[in-house]
């Protein structure tokens, strides 16, 4: 029988963006298992419905289907969380993706795709953080956890847009962490390596296989490996960690 996770987040309200699949879903479940009350936003209603079943024995989450790249929809979501659930203590900025089926070399790329990738990775992180940070500062406690990627430091082929956006997340994390630290708010970035998610399954086969073969620990990461670290950062145990870019990648690369 596995040991239940500690109850480090009892009484906290947490928002997870892109929380219906993969790492976002794992983070939402782990925070809830540790006692947090969750609000999840994701574009995919069917995936939200499936995720809701996983919360059956946990705090009933608020799950809203909305587009994180639309400012008005995000503002409505945050207002609803604050009204129906309570002041937001923890924000996991997880929503994001690469160009996927539109992925090309830089020489073949287009501004339309750049803008989409930067918007969904960097601007959503900034947008949600701007909406919740004032309340955290006012209450003197808060945790913002931004999902970057090892792609920001490795620079893999055909990831010019994704790598640039995720490096932007790292720069944003550092600047805002310095500004908010005196107010009891920590801001950190997690940089996952290859993790068994739908996004990895959609990656080019040869590239994915090469990535897995390069992991020193000898196995592919799971979403729970990222979620466990996020939960620690979200708790009081993470109070002395801020502005950091933390690679969680089985030793494939390091800073």
Looking at the domain assignment, is residue 241 inside a domain? yes
Specify whether 240 is catalytic: no
Q: CA 99, CA 158: separation in Å to the nearest integer?
A: 9
- Whether 253 is covered by a domain: the verdict is no
CATH number at residue 170: 3.40.50.720
pLDDT mean values, one per 10 residues, the chain (255 residues): 81 97 96 95 94 79 96 98 97 96 96 97 98 98 98 93 98 98 98 84 62 86 96 98 97 85
pLDDT of residue 203: 59
Asked if residue 1 belongs to a domain, the reply is no
Flag whether 7 is in a domain: no
- Total domains present in the chain: 1
C-alpha 255/C-alpha 248 separation (Å) is 11
CB-based burial, 79-114: b 16+ in 10 Å, e otherwise: eebbeebeebbbbbbbbbebbeeebeeeeebeeebb
Secondary structure class of 34 (helix, strand, coil): coil
- Residue 172 within any structural domain of the chain: yes
Q: Please indicate, yes or no, if residue 194 is contained in any of the structural domains.
A: yes
Query: What does the alpha-carbon distance between residue 237 and residue 241 come to, in Å, rounded to a whole number?
Result: 9
**Is residue 255 included in any domain, yes or no?**
no
User: Residue 198 domain-assigned?
Assistant: yes
Active-site entry in 77, 116, 162, 229:
162
What's the pLDDT score for residue 255? 79
Domain coverage including residue 164: 13-248
pTM of the predicted structure, to 2 decimals: 0.94
């Amino acid at each position: 029988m596995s040991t239940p996770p500690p109850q480090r987040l009892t009484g906290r309200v947490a928002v997870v963006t892109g929380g219906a699949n993969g790492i976002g879903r794992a983070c939402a479940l782990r925070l809830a298992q540790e006692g947090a009350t969750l609000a999840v936003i994701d574009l995919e209603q069917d995936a939200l419905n499936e995720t809701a079943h996983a919360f059956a024995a946990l705090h009933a989450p608020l799950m809203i289907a909305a587009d994180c790249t639309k400012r008005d929809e995000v503002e409505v979501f945050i207002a609803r969380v604050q009204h129906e659930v309570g002041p937001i203590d923890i924000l996991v900025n997880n929503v994001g993706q690469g160009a996927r089926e539109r992925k090309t070399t830089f020489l073949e790329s287009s501004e339309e795709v750049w803008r989409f990738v930067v918007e969904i990775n960097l601007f959503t992180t900034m947008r949600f953080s701007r909406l919740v940070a004032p309340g955290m500062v006012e209450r003197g406690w808060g945790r913002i956890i931004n999902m970057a990627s090892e792609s920001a430091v490795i620079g893999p082929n055909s990831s010019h847009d994704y790598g640039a956006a995720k490096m932007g997340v790292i720069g944003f994390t550092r600047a805002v962490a310095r500004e908010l630290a005196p107010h009891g708010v920590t801001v950190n970035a997690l940089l996952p390596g290859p993790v068994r998610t739908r996004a990895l399954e959609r990656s080019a086969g040869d590239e994915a296989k090469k990535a897995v073969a390069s992991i020193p620990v000898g196995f592919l990461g799971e979403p729970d490996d990222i979620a466990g670290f996020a939960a620690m950062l979200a708790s009081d145990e993470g109070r002395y960690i801020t502005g950091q870019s933390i690679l969680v990648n089985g030793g494939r690369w390091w800073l």
